[in-house]
Amino acid sequence: MQIEGILLGAVWFAFLLYVLLRSSKAYPRTLIVVLFSVKVFAAFLLQALFTYYYTDRSTADIYRFFDDGMILREALFAHPSDFFRIVFGLGLEDPTLRTSYFEVMNAWIKPFDAGLYNDNHFMIRLNATFALVSFGFYEVHNVIFTFLSFVGLKWCVDALLFKSQDRNWALTMAVLFPASLLWLSGGLKEAVLMLGIGAALKGMRASTLKEAFPSVLIASLILLNLKLYFLAFLLPALLSEWMRQKRNWNYWAMTLFWGVLITVGIASAYAAGFDIPASIAQKQHDFINHVNEIASGSAFEMVQLSPDYLALVLGIPTALFTCLLRPLPMEVNSTPEVLLLLENILLWTMAVAAFLGWYRKRDKSLSLWWVLLFTIPLLVLTGWVTPVFGAIMRYRAPALVVLIISLSPYIRSLWHHKEQIDVP
């Protein structure tokens, strides 16, 4: 960590906080100042962790993408045409680009690459672009990425809730949830992913196509390049919610429509020659091999998936158990496992509180149902393929934060039981 970078990061912090305050007039100013400050502070703690404790920059995502972005930034001054070709993805098959840049970088070429798309490229390009205003200081990137994540969280809250009191609670819970502070801050994929999810939900709630277009454009740019499967799970859930509102559907009709959309998506992938079970099984296999190479401290044994739909279906209970309940107390042997255990206790405490709030109000709205249709498949996928407890905490964070925002009115209702729950 460099003092010049911290000082320049402080300037960017002040500017972006000003932007947030100007665009968040529906929220108390003090709340925005405190929450954004806490989130930026957490991002710098994460940087300190990967600077002074986990010192191998080649395996730390916050530095891998940043360092590769700096390599790409240098191309702007030495070979401008190479810079723009790489940033815009033009002629990447050129062997000169591979030998001069890609093989020099740590993260451009994945050691285990399924071949569908490489989300590392998007993060490297983003870092190279931000480097044009950061003067090569990671601290500035830290603040910018954290700002993008905060905006995404706020957009999710704005789209999912109506009442200002509920929004204040939800934003506070979303920002301060442990995985959100730790993994949705700084230069990680999940921080940018949060902006993409927020933009998608913001576009869904827009009243006109003209109003929705910028949000949909941002969401498409991020989700298509970063985490395509988030988009694959989000679209059927959003379409199901849209049809529910248009036709006043019940749970069964909404779920049936969602199931039809998922089936059509699977059939389309099969027709295009993409074997979904084989891809998921290969992802798990590659993850296990990678963990064995780096000897992760929070890794655990998991049964390898067979590349067929029956194995995936039968593995759903185990995947959810792994993703939402493990590690068990007797499995805790490292700091990441302690953090995940404590977060699970907090998560299930919040779930019980939300259920009690829902039961007390006898809420019959279906506004939460589409969120479950979106988040549960993401949690299942995480449980299927991830053999590291620390990685589970990170990968499930965006889905859990969206779920927590949706549950927050029910949790709040325990303290304000006379108020009517009001959600979209």
Asked if pLDDT for residue 326 goes beyond 70, the answer is yes
Whether 423 has a pLDDT exceeding 60, the answer reads: no
pLDDT at 250: 84
Question: Has residue 141 got a pLDDT over 90?
Answer: yes
Of 361 and 7, the structure prediction assigns the larger pLDDT to 7
Q: What is the pTM of this model?
A: 0.93
* 232-280 pLDDT per residue, tens: 999 999 999 889 888 888 888 999 999 999 999 999 999 988 899 999 9
Q: Comparing 118 with 98, which gets the higher pLDDT? A: 98
Q: What is residue 208's predicted lDDT score, i.e. its pLDDT?
A: 85
Residue 80 has pLDDT above 60, yes or no: yes
The average pLDDT across 300-328 equals 93
Q: What is the pLDDT of residues 159-183, one digit of tens each?
A: 999 888 889 999 999 999 999 999 9
Q: Is the sign of the CA dihedral 301, 326, 397, 311 positive or negative? A: positive
pLDDT score recorded for residue 366 = 62
Average pLDDT (56-77) is: 89
Position 113 pLDDT exceeds 80: no
> Residue 202 in contact with residue 239, Cβ under 8 Å?
no
- What is the per-residue pLDDT for 361? 72
Mean predicted lDDT score pLDDT of the chain: 90
Do the Cβ atoms of 243 and 249 come closer than 8 Å?
yes
